[in-house]
């Protein structure tokens, strides 16, 4: 299971909101050396707040640190024109794995969703293409049969299922057995694998990659004794809550430069920050940044 855990990378911004490329490079290097690869410029990466040039800069850094096989470049946008332009540019940089969230803001018809992915496929015909399904953020719900039909029409390699869509992973795996399905819910990797998923795309692994990697290794070896304490560690991490602000706080405590945000990211309150600090002290080494 070399990519049973992919890191949904946050985007480091400086105090005035500028993209911090130095910290980005260090963060991507750590994640690439710890988990199975990087999911770049996704929700955890605050992609709606990035301009196209910044997204391409992130892709370029990720490809340099993790290589094409270790990067899924997220090119999704509200419209097919922009998504296709990003897909073509990402492929020109060397990206071979692309993801695109379903169109959002204006709710599309099913045929418009298909046309969106076909436009991206035409722009990057040789890339693996993954749908990114997140109903709570897009108003688009793709059930198992809908995902299977879209995959056949657009030549999808797989999908990331987040929010309520993650609960449909087993049904989607049964409806489209050839797809590589990743869950955006990183709390129970074993359950995702039992359901037929390829793994999880985890924001929390950006700060606690060693824990998630150790759990994946134990599961791959079939070692339930080794997996149990690592799952307990994941449970403790998850108990602090899911937010970009919490991930960035954990990374600061690991030795990274403080990372500002451009979007509301759920900064931890003092009690939660103390819990995160305790987990960093006990579960992971300081990063060399």
Decide if 18 is inside a domain. Answer: yes
User: Pick from 162, 93, 287, 100: which is nearest to 108 by CA?
Assistant: 100
Taking the alpha carbons of 167, 242, 90, 96 in that order, is the dihedral positive or negative? negative
In percent, the amount of the chain with pLDDT more than 70 equals 98
- 288: confidence class by pLDDT, cuts 50, 70, 90: low
Decide if 251 is inside a domain. Answer: no
pLDDT 10s digits, 20-53: 999 999 999 999 999 999 999 999 999 999 999 9
Cβ within 8 Å of residue 61, ≥6 positions away: 21, 24, 25, 28
d(CA 136, CA 128): 25
Quick check: 265 pLDDT over 70?
yes
* Strands, E assignment, the chain: 5-8, 38-40, 71-74, 97-101, 128-133, 158-161, 180-183, 199-202
Q: How many domains does the chain have?
A: 1
Decide if 255 is inside a domain. Answer: no
Domain around 23: 5-207
Decide if 29 is inside a domain. Answer: yes
pLDDT 10s digits, 78-128: 999 999 999 999 999 999 999 999 999 999 999 999 999 999 999 999 999
Residue 158's φ and ψ, nearest 5 degrees, are 175, -160
Q: State the CATH number of the domain containing residue 141.
A: 3.20.20.70
Decide if 287 is inside a domain. Answer: no
Quick check: 286 pLDDT over 90?
no
Decide if 139 is inside a domain. Answer: yes
Looking only at the bridges linking them, the beta strands covering 5-8 and 199-202 are parallel
Quick check: 139 pLDDT over 70?
yes
pLDDT for res 177:
95
Instruction: Look at residue 114 and give its three-state secondary structure.
Output: helix
Decide if 245 is inside a domain. Answer: no
Decide if 281 is inside a domain. Answer: no
């Amino acid at each position: 299971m070399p990519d049973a855990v992919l890191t949904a990378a946050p985007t480091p911004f400086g105090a005035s909101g500028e993209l911090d490329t130095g910290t980005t490079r260090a963060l991507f290097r750590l994640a690439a050396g710890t988990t199975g690869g990087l999911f770049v410029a996704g929700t955890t990466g605050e992609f709606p707040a990035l301009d196209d040039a910044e997204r391409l800069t992130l892709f370029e850094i990720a490809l340099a640190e993790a290589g094409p096989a270790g990067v899924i470049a997220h090119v999704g946008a509200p419209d097919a024109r922009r998504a296709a332009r990003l897909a073509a540019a990402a492929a020109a940089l060397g990206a071979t794995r692309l993801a695109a969230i379903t169109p959002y803001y204006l709710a599309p018809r099913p045929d418009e969703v298909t046309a969106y992915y076909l436009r991206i496929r035409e722009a990057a015909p040789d890339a693996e293409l993954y749908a990114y399904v997140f109903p709570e953020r897009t108003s688009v719900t793709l059930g198992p049969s809908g995902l299977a039909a879209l995959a056949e029409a657009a030549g999808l390699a797989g999908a990331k299922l987040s929010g309520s869509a993650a609960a449909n992973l087993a049904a989607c795996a049964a409806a489209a057995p050839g797809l590589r399905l990743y869950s955006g819910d990183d709390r129970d990797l074993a359950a995702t694998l039992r359901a037929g998923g390829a793994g999880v795309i985890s924001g929390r692994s950006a700060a606690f990659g060693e824990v998630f990697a150790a759990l994946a290794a134990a599961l791959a070896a079939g070692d339930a004794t080794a997996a149990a304490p690592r799952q307990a560690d994941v449970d403790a991490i998850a108990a602090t809550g899911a937010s970009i602000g919490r991930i960035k706080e954990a990374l600061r405590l690991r030795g990274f430069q403080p990372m500002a945000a451009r979007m509301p990211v759920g900064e931890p309150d003092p009690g939660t920050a103390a819990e995160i600090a305790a987990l960093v002290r006990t579960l992971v080494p300081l990063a060399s940044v």
